[in-house]
């Protein structure tokens, strides 16, 4: 029987990790590679979170929300995919197929987070002027309230993105799992390899470094040789 508890815990993690993304802390726990295992730890399945985080990290490694840049919400994509994979394991059945299904469903829905964050930033643009006016009036409690309001807007945005991805994602998984879950399970290794290769291609395209391809593949070759020597 499916439990509501993982979704509730996932919502709490969505808010916490969402704030780390741009609004507060910024200690990098919002990155997929860290966010996935953290959510998995809270929900009782670290390996599922680690799998999701590793597969998603490469896709957004060079696309961070810095300055005016607003990429897809990789944080909520990771949190939602991990939550769905763990929460639905009792309903759909555990396994790598469900994990990949949750990841592939959540991945395009990360676009929602981009739209939500753009809306939040637009709303928060009015707050500095209001805070300046309150400061000129000597109303320090009002300045504090405005600051907290800005954080609250980001928290609400993160929660909204999470809820939308989880609600749509859950419906898609439960509805479609009888048709493609077995296929995803059988082809899991190839799908994971494809995601890694897409992530590598994205990373190489973003690296504006001469001979980046040669450096990258040389690094891979040296790693494999080192692993062979250490065996």
pLDDT digits (tens, 9 = 90+) for 12-26: 999 999 999 888 888
Percent helix, strand, coil in the chain (nearest 5)?
80, 0, 20
Instruction: Give the Cα separation of 18 and 10 in Å (integer).
Output: 12
Q: Of 95, 81, 96, nearest to 172 (Cα)?
A: 81
Mean pLDDT of 136-142: 83
Global pTM value: 0.81
CB 209 within 8 A of CB 215: yes
Q: Give me the phi and psi of 30, to 5 degrees please.
A: -85, -10
Neighbour tally for 94: CB within 10 Å:
14
Whether pLDDT at 59 is above 70:
yes
Instruction: Give the Cα separation of 3 and 86 in Å (integer).
Output: 10
User: pLDDT-based confidence at 80, cuts 50/70/90?
Assistant: very high
């Amino acid at each position: 029987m499916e439990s509501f508890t993982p979704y509730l815990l996932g919502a709490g993690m969505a808010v916490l990790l969402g704030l780390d993304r741009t609004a507060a802390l910024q200690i990098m726990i919002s990155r997929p590679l860290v966010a996935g295992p953290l959510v998995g730890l809270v929900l009782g399945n670290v390996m599922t979170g680690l799998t999701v985080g590793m597969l998603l990290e490469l896709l957004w490694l060079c696309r961070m929300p810095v300055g005016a840049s607003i990429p897809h919400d990789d944080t909520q994509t990771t949190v939602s995919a991990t939550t769905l994979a763990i929460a639905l394991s009792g309903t759909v059945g555990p396994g790598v197929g469900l994990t990949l299904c949750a990841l592939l469903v959540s991945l395009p829905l990360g676009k929602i987070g981009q739209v939500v964050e753009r809306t939040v930033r637009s709303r928060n643009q009015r707050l500095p002027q209001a805070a300046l006016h309150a400061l000129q009036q000597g109303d320090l409690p009002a300045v504090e309230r405005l600051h907290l309001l800005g954080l609250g807007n980001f928290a609400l945005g993160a929660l909204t993105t999470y809820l939308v991805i989880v609600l749509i994602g859950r419906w898609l998984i439960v509805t479609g799992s009888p048709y493609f879950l077995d296929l995803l399970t059988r082809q899991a290794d190839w799908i994971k390899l494809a995601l890694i290769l897409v992530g590598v291609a994205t990373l190489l395209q973003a690296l504006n470094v001469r001979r980046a391809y040669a450096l990258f593949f040389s690094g891979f070759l040296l790693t494999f040789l080192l692993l062979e020597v250490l065996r």
